[in-house]
Structure 1
Amino acid sequence: MERISVDEVENRPNPLGVHGVRRPVSQALDTDDVALVVYELKPGEQFSGGLHTHHDQEEIFYVLSGTATFEVGTDREEVTVEAGEVVRFPPGEFQSGHNHSDEPVRALVVGAPGARHDWDALESMAPCADCGEETSHAVRPPDEDGVMQLVCNDCGTEMF
């Protein structure tokens, strides 16, 4: 058995700088089969770097306080999730979560199966300079400086 205080878990924000507080609880517990992260988003912050999907993992967001807004699917349908509500994204469904409110958001996020990203199973939508439109991109893990690389799946252009 492992027992920890979430507030004592080391803060490890996203390398893209999209939020200030990300506590990887599953790393502190050394889990193998589930990812568990607590986020605290100030107004204007987001959970991840943009519209993305995990082809090998479902994600569940339990909003503990505040109101989170998610863009869902490539058509970016907006879904609002209030404190006490839960939203689930199955593998392959694109989503991006934000705090568009004036109040902080605190959420517990569960990903399964697996406690770590399979970077080959992660896909992100982003503008491609060479294609001239938003396209699907492969995501490479952060380098030694914490910089992730996106690679256009249509033309192969690499973006940092």
Structure 2
Amino acid sequence: MSEGWQRVRPSESDPRDDKPGTRWELSPKLDIEPFNLNVAVLEPGERLSQSHFHYHHDQAELIHVAAGRCRVEVADDRFIAEQGDTVRFDAGPEGVHLVHNPFDEPCRIVAMGWPPSGRHPVETVKTIGELLDERE
């Protein structure tokens, strides 16, 4: 790190290959402890979380759509989040959600979760297939 600042370029590091989409976990590279910071690119048909329609018992999350658009599924609704939109999900069952890209263009998302220790346990409520079958 230089004097008082640090730049990280996701394109200059390897994404995680165990998560859906193309995801870079930036918190470790930036030495950030209070929250998990990720950048993800969802190609058409991809979802953000390997946990499908889920919630975290003890972690709140937010997404910011940096480019493109995605669909957000919540407990009793769904909507399109477009470039510039930011969406927050509470911890616990009331914050159940799924972020996915059913569109023809990629979507770039900045995602944060806090506290980082609350990442687990995660509760999968339904798979994306089950949820979309119900809602279609």
Q: Does 1:11 align with 2:15?
A: yes
Deviation at 1:118, TM superposition (A): 4.0
Instruction: Tell me the C-alpha RMSD between the 2 structures.
Output: 2.1
Cα distance in structure 2, aligned partners of 1:9 and 1:79: 32
Quick one: percent identity of the two aligned structures?
A: 33
Higher helix share: 2
Between the two proteins, the alignment pairs up a number of residues equal to 122
Normalised TM-score (structure 1): 0.68
Q: Which runs of 5+ in 1 are unaligned?
A: 128-132, 135-160
Instruction: Work out which structure has the larger RCO, using CA pairs closer than 8 Å and 6 or more positions apart in sequence.
Output: 2
Give TM-score, length-normalised by structure 2.
0.79
Q: Give the Cα separation in 2 of the matches to 1:2 and 1:58.
A: 27
Check if 1:34 corresponds to 2:35: yes
CA contact (8 A) 1:14 1:22 kept: no
Greater Rg over alpha carbons, structure: 1
The residue type paired with residue 87 of structure 1 is: V
Alignment of 1:19-30 (within 5 A): 19=21, 21-30=22-31
CA shift for structure 1 position 2: 5.4
Could you tell me how far 1:59 is from its partner in structure 2? 0.7
Runs (5+) with no aligned partner, structure 2: 132-136
> Which residue of structure 2 lines up, in the alignment, with residue 102 of structure 1?
104
Instruction: Give the partner amino acid of 1:81.
Output: A
Partners of 2:66 and 2:83 within 8 A in 1: yes
2:38 and 2:13 map into 1 onto residues whose CA distance is: 10
